[in-house]
Amino acid sequence: MTDHGLRRTRLGWAEPPPPPQCVNGHPLRGGNGMVVGIAHCAHCGLHRAISCGFCDAVIYRPPRTEQCSFVAMDGRRG
Ligand SMILES: [Zn+2]
Ligand SMILES: [Zn+2]
C-alpha cells in the first residue's frame, strides 16, 4: 500500500490543501471555481480529481503518475 496523501487523525482524514490554481491559471475555489471528484486508481487506490470550473483542466491529488490506471470515476467527468 502506497501513501496516497491521506493521513488518519483523531478527527478523521487530514488532506493536503488543493492546488491554488489550474494549469491555465484559473483560481480553484469552492463554488463555481472547481469541482472535486474521486478517481479510483488501480495503482494508488484513490486520487482526488479537481476539475477547473473555467476550463477542462483536471488536477489529481496526489498527482497522477505513469503507474496510475484509473478504473472508475465518481462525480463529474473531467
Ligand atoms: Zn482552468
Ligand atoms: Zn494512482
Distance 61 CA to ligand 2 centre (A): 9
Is residue 1 in some structural domain?
no
Is residue 27 in some structural domain?
yes
Ligand nearest to the CA of 2: 2
d(CA 77, CA 4): 21
Q: Nearest Cα to 76, choosing from 49, 40, 47?
A: 49
Is residue 2 in some structural domain?
no
Could you state, in chain order, the average pLDDT of each consecutive group of 10 residues for the chain (78 residues)? Answer: 63 66 86 84 92 90 92 62
What's residue 78's pLDDT?
45
Ligand nearest to the CA of 62: 2
Number of domains into which the chain is organized: 1
- pTM comes to 0.63
Ligand nearest to the CA of 68: 2
d(CA 21, CA 54): 11
Is residue 28 in some structural domain?
yes
Range of the structural domain that residue 23 is part of: 7-74
What's residue 57's pLDDT?
92
Distance 16 CA to ligand 2 centre (A): 16
